[in-house]
């Protein structure tokens, strides 16, 4: 049985630039500092984990005693927006956040993660530093994009395009 609650998935906007310009050692410091901040602002009953790369997941069980989901998300955004003081530099980042709630958006941990991931990438694409809640329309849109790409690749492979030039 899976617990009801909210899966919050976040990606650090701008992390790659810091990692590439300052090196992996500085990037690792930044990841550790982010994990520490998330642990400090998440409710005590939440589970905080690094999901991979510069992505972190926070599962907040239903009935959190330390504020509403909106307040928790706000604290997470603020924690990520505070400047990070690293060796010889001050780094400013934001976080793109995707949220999926159980049982509305999924009944398994894998489904919640997948849906929070879709919402996070929607936030990142539309306006980095914001959050989006999962909606069924997101899955449909991704499927349309996949279908369109497959159809375009098929048409290209079958030489079904014509080039017209108009000066």
Which tokens in the block code for residue 131?
């959050």
- Residue pair 113/136 in contact by the 8 Å Cβ criterion: no
**The 131-133 sheet, strands edge to edge:** 47-52, 55-61, 5-13, 94-102, 131-133
- Residue pair 7/99 in contact by the 8 Å Cβ criterion: yes
Query: Tokens 């930044």 map to which residue?
Result: 30
28 is catalytic: no
Selected catalytic residue, list 54, 104, 117, 147: 54
How far does Cα 61 stand from its chain's mean position?
Answer: 19
Residues 78 and 82: their CA atoms lie apart, in Å, by: 6
Please give the positions annotated as active site: 54
């Amino acid at each position: 049985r899976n617990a009801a609650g909210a899966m919050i998935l976040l990606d650090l906007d701008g992390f790659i630039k810091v990692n590439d310009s300052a090196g992996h050692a500085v990037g690792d410091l930044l990841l550790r500092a982010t994990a520490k901040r998330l642990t400090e602002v998440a409710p005590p009953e939440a589970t905080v984990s690094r999901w991979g790369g510069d992505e972190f997941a926070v599962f907040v069980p239903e009935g959190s005693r330390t504020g509403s989901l909106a307040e928790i998300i706000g604290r997470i955004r603020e924690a990520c927006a505070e400047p990070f003081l690293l060796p010889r530099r001050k780094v400013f980042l934001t976080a793109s956040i995707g949220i999926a709630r159980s049982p509305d958006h999924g009944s398994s941990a894998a489904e919640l993660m997948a849906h929070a991931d879709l919402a996070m990438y929607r936030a990142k694409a539309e306006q980095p530093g914001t959050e989006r809640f999962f909606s069924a329309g997101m899955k449909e849109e991704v499927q349309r994009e996949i279908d369109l790409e497959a159809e375009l690749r098929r048409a290209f492979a079958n030489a079904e395009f014509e080039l017209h030039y108009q000066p």
